[in-house]
């Protein structure tokens, strides 16, 4: 008989799985090292249950069975059993501060209090450990101190990251100042220093999924390249609320979108290690000459807004960015202003992995608890970002759920888009759904349905929307050189029957992944990859990947053929069931050209397909490009108005659709027959690049044309009568039955 497995199922219960019957086993046969006192032994077949004095979770233990070998004790079941509902972080109660930190394997936790953010020395206080893995301390207030941080010690084995000389922030901190260096040393603001905020009469913006027109955008990019307004607030939360600033809320209202999806605004590690220089701890940056993470998919603090977008931010290298708490008010002002404009606020949130190179607190509190790791302690990397969080652990799950609810309650956020969502477990998503809908039944929940796996249908089963790459890859394609879609003159990897799948929201009855069209978030461009405009430029041969652009102005302007493709893409997006998502600048075929800033090992004047690190004109929106392709911008404006004015395009049932064909290849359309709730609608698409398409339509109806090859909107562009409609090449015609 030998030990096959030894598991600590609670701090005082050790369970041994043996290769044979344990009936003859005695307590004296069991030796635990380091020594733990054995109180009681019970046996059930090949399983022995040993009641002991509490294990010290900060130390690794092994168990020896006399004559039968020795094994390391797995404490994972014990950690999984530990949970608490007590408030975490720093809370204020009457005349005291209560500090609580969940660190189940730590051997000591020290609290450091500072009067000023840049103090090197502060007062030190020891926290005490509770049975539930929470360390706590109670201090009287008021204190002279304004800022705090923690130092934590624990196991020093291979793969661990405990280091009491490193100070880290509080994972539950509401406002954090960090030093402008890649380690982002942190000081957390005491919560009673955050002023109360007057939300006035603000309430969430409730929009049905099929009515959503989402504008994915980066806070800084919208206003950083100034053409008007105050340069001091360019690229900030405040700039978005300034009607005199190009790219602000007034621009969004004029375009007509009703929701924004903000690229990550939870505080993130925006500075990365120095390029081609050793930075200690075996960190060597040979991938990022910019030494920046601009997009923000490296979250450090899940409850704190990013202070970099504050007008009070100090971004000087080596300085402390101590915008807190003023940036909190700025973020709330932005949300309130969006709501007053009828625009819902969706946050792009990153709970699948965390920041990588800074003093990310979860890594130094308990790497093996909060992260998915291998047997030798290395981070798992299904995210491709260096480290994956372990949402299955109860207190990591609680942190995620608490964070979501906090942004809803404290910041009035209307919804969330979950980055690389398949890395997060289903039970966590179920709890998010139930708890979030209890606060706001109309909360917007959207998954990016890949990461560790590809599962858009699974998120639909959970009641979540998901980015619909079935639509994107079929209509546009996945690569402008070798993977083009329907828009470019062939079915690509699709078949004609897929047209109906795209239009109906990629529902399962049509071979798609979604239970309901309401779960499909249809899109053709996002922050990832080439812009749709650049995809078209490359696919039509006016640019090549890696080609140095000699005449940027000539490249920006789409020719008539390219404009036809761009308009057709937009029309297909807006006549399909489901939510609609645009990326910032898509409406004017934004070109993303790498700016020449003298960065080593960077070739400027090349179209960029992965600009995550470029905090410069490569990413910042240049609204002069809108004037270059003004006709396309106005077409998008018109389609947004048209979709709003024709509810059948958003809400008609599947049985109302009759799909139409034409003898011309790549010509597909549909007729929506009025069923009393909606009037008749015709959408006639011709993706053929040369030939017109002829459709046979109901002849007893007078059709008002709302969209043709060049224009779209609520206004009637013309009237059609008769049984045949001729649709020019690269055109979508949208018509509604005239009232008689």
Residue with tokens 């930190």: 101
Q: Which residues have CB under 8 Å from 181's CB, separation 6+?
A: 271, 317, 318
Which of the 8 DSSP states describes residue 55? P
Which residue, 489, 199, 444, is CA-closest to 346?
444
3 state SS of 396: helix
For residue 346, the surrounding DSSP H or E stretch is strand 344-349
Alpha-carbon separation of residue 376 from 79, 369, 593 (angstroms)? 18, 14, 43
User: Are residues 519 and 578 in contact, defined by beta-carbon separation less than 8 angstroms?
Assistant: yes
The pLDDT value recorded for residue 677 is 62
Residue 498 annotated as catalytic: no
* d(C-alpha 628, C-alpha 65), whole Å: 79
Question: Splitting the chain (740 residues) into consecutive groups of 10 residues, what average pLDDT does each group show?
Answer: 90 92 90 94 94 94 87 94 96 96 97 95 95 95 92 92 96 98 97 96 96 98 78 90 89 97 98 89 89 97 97 95 96 98 98 96 97 90 93 98 98 98 98 98 98 95 98 97 95 93 97 98 98 98 96 96 98 98 98 95 97 94 96 98 96 94 96 78 97 94 95 96 96 90
CA 561 to chain centre: 35
Residue count of the chain: 740
Quick one: tokens of 169? 């922030």
3 state SS of 170: coil
* d(C-alpha 164, C-alpha 76), whole Å: 24
* d(C-alpha 662, C-alpha 649), whole Å: 21
* d(C-alpha 91, C-alpha 100), whole Å: 8
Buried b (16+ CB within 10 A) or exposed e, 630-660: eebbbbbbbbbbbbbebebbbbbeeebbeeb
Q: Which residues are paired to 669 by β-bridges?
A: 660, 684
Alpha-carbon separation of residue 734 from 265, 655, 656 (angstroms)? 38, 19, 16
What are 676-719's pLDDT values in tens digits? 567 899 999 999 999 999 999 998 899 999 999 999 999 999 99
Task: Kindly report whether the peptide bond that precedes residue 34 is cis, defined as omega within 30 degrees of 0.
Answer: yes
Q: Rounded to two decimals, what is the model's pTM?
A: 0.96
User: Are residues 579 and 520 in contact, defined by beta-carbon separation less than 8 angstroms?
Assistant: yes
Quick one: tokens of 213? 């027109």
The pLDDT value recorded for residue 229 is 61
Which residue, 570, 585, 699, is CA-closest to 636?
570
DSSP 3-state helix, strand, coil percentages of the chain (rounded to 5)? 25, 25, 50
Write phi, then psi, for 116 (nearest 5 degrees): -125, 155
C-alpha dihedral sign at 120, 126, 132, 138: negative
Q: Which residues are paired to 260 by β-bridges?
A: 215, 345
Give the side-chain half-sphere CA count within 13 A for 730. Answer: 15
CA 341 to chain centre: 24
What are 532-556's pLDDT values in tens digits? 999 999 999 999 999 999 999 999 9
Which residue out of 242, 448, 615, 680 is catalytically annotated? 448
User: Are residues 248 and 222 in contact, defined by beta-carbon separation less than 8 angstroms?
Assistant: yes
* d(C-alpha 258, C-alpha 212), whole Å: 6
User: Are residues 175 and 324 in contact, defined by beta-carbon separation less than 8 angstroms?
Assistant: yes
Domains located in the chain, CATH noted: 3-80 (2.60.40.1130), 83-193 (2.60.40.10), 209-642 (3.20.20.80), 653-737 (2.60.40.1180)
* d(C-alpha 79, C-alpha 105), whole Å: 9
Write phi, then psi, for 610 (nearest 5 degrees): -155, 80
* d(C-alpha 371, C-alpha 396), whole Å: 9
Give the side-chain half-sphere CA count within 13 A for 72. Answer: 7
DSSP labels, 699-734: TTS-EEEEE-SS-BSSS--EEE-SSEEEE-TTEEEE
Which of the 8 DSSP states describes residue 190? P
Residue with tokens 């890649």: 182
User: Are residues 426 and 391 in contact, defined by beta-carbon separation less than 8 angstroms?
Assistant: no
User: Are residues 338 and 249 in contact, defined by beta-carbon separation less than 8 angstroms?
Assistant: yes
Write phi, then psi, for 319 (nearest 5 degrees): -80, 165
The pLDDT value recorded for residue 228 is 54
Exposure of 347 by Cβ count < 10 A (0-12 exposed, 13-18 middle, 19+ buried)?
Answer: buried
Residue with tokens 């090449």: 729
User: Are residues 705 and 732 in contact, defined by beta-carbon separation less than 8 angstroms?
Assistant: no
Which residue out of 238, 419, 587, 622 is catalytically annotated? 419
Quick one: tokens of 217? 């955008």
* d(C-alpha 661, C-alpha 390), whole Å: 50
The pLDDT value recorded for residue 22 is 85
* d(C-alpha 362, C-alpha 281), whole Å: 17
Residue 419 annotated as catalytic: yes
Which of the 8 DSSP states describes residue 486? G
Q: Which residues are paired to 720 by β-bridges?
A: 703
DSSP labels, 490-552: S-TT--TTHHHHHHTTSBGGGT-SBSSGGGEEEES--SSSS-HHHHHHHHTTS--TTPPPS-H
Quick one: tokens of 353? 């992995």
Which of the 8 DSSP states describes residue 423? G
CA 69 to chain centre: 48
Quick one: tokens of 620? 């910042």
Q: What are the start-end ranges of the E strands in 117-159?
A: 123-126, 128-129, 134-140, 147-153
Which residue, 729, 554, 568, 717, is CA-closest to 636?
568
The pLDDT value recorded for residue 654 is 94
For residue 114, the surrounding DSSP H or E stretch is strand 108-114
Q: Which residues have CB under 8 Å from 196's CB, separation 6+?
A: none
Exposure of 434 by Cβ count < 10 A (0-12 exposed, 13-18 middle, 19+ buried)?
Answer: exposed
* d(C-alpha 712, C-alpha 732), whole Å: 10
* d(C-alpha 586, C-alpha 111), whole Å: 48
Q: Which residues are paired to 417 by β-bridges?
A: 348, 446
For residue 472, the surrounding DSSP H or E stretch is helix 469-475
User: Are residues 414 and 338 in contact, defined by beta-carbon separation less than 8 angstroms?
Assistant: no
Quick one: tokens of 561? 């053929």
């Amino acid at each position: 008989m030998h030990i096959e497995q030894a598991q600590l199922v609670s701090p005082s219960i050790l369970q041994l799985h043996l290769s044979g019957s344990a009936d003859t086993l005695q307590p004296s046969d069991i030796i635990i090292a380091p020594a733990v006192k054995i109180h009681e032994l019970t046996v059930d077949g090949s399983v022995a249950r040993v009641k002991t004095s509490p294990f010290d979770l900060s130390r690794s233990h092994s168990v020896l069975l006399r004559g039968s070998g020795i094994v390391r004790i797995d404490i994972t079941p014990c950690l999984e059993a530990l949970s608490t509902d007590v408030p975490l972080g720093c809370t204020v109660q009457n005349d005291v501060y209560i500090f609580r930190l969940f660190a189940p394997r730590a051997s000591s936790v020290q609290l450091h209090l500072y009067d000023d953010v840049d103090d090197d020395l502060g007062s030190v206080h020891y926290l005490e450990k509770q049975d539930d893995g929470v360390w706590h301390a109670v201090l009287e207030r008021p204190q002279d101190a304004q800022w705090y941080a923690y130092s934590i010690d624990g196991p020093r084995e291979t793969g661990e990251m405990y280091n009491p000389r490193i100070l880290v922030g509080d994972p539950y901190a509401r406002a954090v100042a960090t030093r402008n260096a890649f380690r982002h040393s942190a000081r957390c603001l005491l919560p009673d220093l955050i002023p109360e905020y007057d939300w006035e009469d603000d309430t969430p913006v409730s929009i049905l999924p099929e009515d959503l027109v989402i504008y994915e955008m980066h806070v800084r990019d919208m206003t950083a390249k100034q053409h008007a307004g105050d340069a001091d607030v360019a690229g900030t939360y405040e700039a978005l609320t300034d009607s005199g600033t190009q790219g602000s809320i007034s621009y969004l209202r004029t375009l007509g979108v009703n929701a924004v999806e903000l690229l990550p605004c939870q505080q993130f590690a925006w500075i990365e290690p120095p390029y081609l220089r050793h930075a200690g701890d075996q960190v060597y940056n040979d991938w990022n000459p910019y030494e920046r993470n601009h997009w923000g998919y490296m979250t450090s603090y899940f409850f704190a807004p990013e202070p970099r977008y504050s007008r009070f931010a100090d971004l000087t290298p080596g300085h402390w960015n101590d915008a807190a708490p003023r940036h909190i008010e700025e973020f709330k002002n932005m949300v309130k202003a969006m709501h007053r404009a009828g625009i819902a606020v969706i946050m792009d949130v990153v709970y699948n992995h965390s920041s990588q190179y800074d003093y990310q607190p979860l890594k130094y509190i308990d790497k093996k608890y909060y992260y998915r790791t291998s047997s030798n302690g290395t981070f798992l990397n299904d995210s491709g970002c260096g480290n994956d969080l372990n949402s299955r652990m109860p207190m990591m799950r609680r942190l995620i759920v608490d964070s979501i609810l906090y942004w809803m309650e404290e910041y009035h956020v209307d919804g969330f888009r979950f980055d690389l969502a398949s890395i997060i477990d289903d039970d966590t998503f179920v709890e998010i759904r139930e708890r979030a809908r209890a606060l706001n039944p109309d909360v917007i929940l959207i998954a990016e349905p890949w990461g560790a796996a590809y599962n858009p249908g699974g998120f639909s089963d959970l009641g979540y929307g998901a980015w619909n790459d079935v639509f994107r890859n079929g209509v546009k394609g996945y690569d402008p050189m070798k993977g083009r879609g329907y828009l470019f003159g062939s079915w690509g990897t699709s078949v004609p029957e897929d047209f109906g799948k795209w239009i109906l929201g990629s529902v399962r009855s049509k071979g798609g992944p979604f239970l309901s069209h309401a779960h499909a978030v249809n899109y053709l461009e996002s922050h990832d990859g080439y812009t749709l405009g650049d995809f078209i430029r490359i696919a039509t041969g006016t640019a090549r990947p890696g080609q140095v652009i000699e005449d940027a102005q000539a490249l920006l302007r789409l020719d008539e053929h390219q404009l036809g493709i761009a308009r057709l893409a937009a029309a297909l997006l807006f006549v399909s069931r489901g939510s609609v998502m645009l990326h910032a600048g898509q409406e004017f075929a934004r070109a993303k050209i790498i700016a020449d800033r003298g960065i080593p090992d960077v070739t400027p004047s090349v179209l960029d397909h992965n600009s995550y690190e470029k905090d410069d004109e490569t990413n910042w929106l240049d609204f002069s490009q809108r004037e270059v392709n003004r006709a396309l911008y106005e077409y998008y404006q018109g389609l947004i108005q048209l979709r709003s004015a024709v509810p059948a395009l958003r809400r008609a049932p599947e049985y109302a659709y009759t799909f139409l064909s034409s003898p011309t290849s790549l010509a597909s359309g549909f007729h929506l027959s009025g069923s009393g709730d909606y009037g008749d609608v015709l959408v006639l698409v011709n993706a053929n690049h040369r030939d017109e398409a002829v459709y046979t339509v109901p002849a007893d109806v007078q059709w008002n044309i709302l969209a043709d090859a060049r224009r779209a909107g609520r206004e009637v562009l013309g009237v059609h009568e008769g049984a045949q409609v001729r649709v020019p090449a690269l055109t979508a015609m949208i018509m509604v039955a005239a009232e008689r």
